[in-house]
Structure formats: C-alpha cells, structure tokens
Structure 1
Amino acid sequence: MTIKTRGFRRKTRYKLKQEDVLKPSLFIKEFNIGDRVAIDIQSACKKHPHPKFQGRVGKVIGKRGKAYIIEVKDMETKKIVIARPEHLKIIKSQATKNK
C-alpha cells in the first residue's frame, strides 16, 4: 500500500498552475494599511501563503519586513495571513474609491 503525501503543496495540482516569467513590478508593489486585497498565489515564487487561502479577500492590517499582514475571514473566525506582495492583488472597487 502507498502512503498518502502530507506536504505543503498537496491537493494543489490545479490551484497552483505555473505561469509565465514574473515581472519585477510584482515584487515592488506597495499597499496601504486598510486596503482590501485578494490572495493570488504565484506558483513560480516560493514562500507563499497556505494554498487554502487562494482566492480569499482580506484587509491589510500591517507590514512585516517585505511582507504584509492580511486579516482574512475563515468561516466565523478571523485569521492572519502573512504574504509577500507578489501574491497579493488590490481589489479594484476599493482602489477607485481612494482616488
């Protein structure tokens, strides 16, 4: 009998598809505290958030080094996700309201 894998990237065959070459602009994005962002994992970069948070929307509540601290609602509880800027996308509706 085979042993089931229990790795960090298990069950992510279709969630984390390899994309084209990443642009440098992904790595230097800036977000303000209070911005709403979506978690979009770039599989070409290591050190990404847990795959269960793929596609979740959260609020930026702080910065830790180069990464941002995002508060995400998971069912009833609020969880904190630490992700680097290449794995985050700003929500357009929020960006237009700020300008």
Structure 2
Amino acid sequence: MQRSRGFKSRSRKKLTKKPRTGRSNPITNKLQTFEEGDLVHIIIDPSVHRGQPHSRFHGKTAEIIGKRGQAYLLGLKDGNKFKELIVRPDHLKLQE
C-alpha cells in the first residue's frame, strides 16, 4: 500500500493556528486591497480553505501582477522558475 501525498500532506505544523489568539479570521483580512506592483507576504490562514496557496509558498514574498475575481495573481521566483499563484487576500499581508 502506498501512502497518500495530498495537497496538505506534511503541513501539520504550518497549517495549525495557536489556540485563543482572539478572533479566528477577522473580516478586515478578506476586505484588504492591493495594487499591482505591491510586495506581499504569503501567510496562510488555516481557518480559511478557499484561495489557499500550496503550503510550500508559506512565508514567501511575492509581487502582485493582477487580479482574478476576488483573488490576486502573484508572481514569484521559486528556484530558477517564475511561478504565478492565485491567492485570496485572507492569506496575504502587505510588506512594510
């Protein structure tokens, strides 16, 4: 029998929230807006499943290329390859 290697495999520590850190997912995360060219940090919110990027991109910094519906199109270098991600604003934080 072969073990499953699904989308969330080996991400137990990354995709868990600390208990009782206040409100679990404030509405302000969903309502934040970004402009093209902004740099954002990809911080996955495990309580929101829609628009989640793959766990390998957690903690990376990307540039906003465009918008697709409610989500944003991000561009980042992963090794030597340029990758595009479609991520909802719940999982993004503006770089300061």
Establish whether TM, by shorter chain, passes 0.5.
yes
Aligned: 1:86 with 2:85:
no
Aligned: 1:65 with 2:69:
yes
Q: How well do the aligned residues superpose, as a CA RMSD in angstroms?
A: 1.2
The equivalences for 1:1-99 within 5 A come to 3-19=2-18, 20=21, 21-47=24-50, 48-92=52-96
Output one character per residue of 1:21-77: Cα deviation in whole Å (capped at 9) or x when no partner.
Answer: 111101000000000001000000012011111111110000000000000110011
Q: Work out which of the two has the higher radius of gyration on C-alpha atoms and give 1 or 2.
A: 1
TM-score (normalizing by structure 2): 0.89
Matching residue of 1:95: none
Identity of matched residues, %: 35
Q: CA deviation at 1:3?
A: 3.4
TM-score (normalizing by structure 1): 0.86
Runs of 4+ in 1 over 4 A off after TM superposition: none
More helix by share: 1
**Structure 1 alignment gaps of length 5 or more:** 93-99
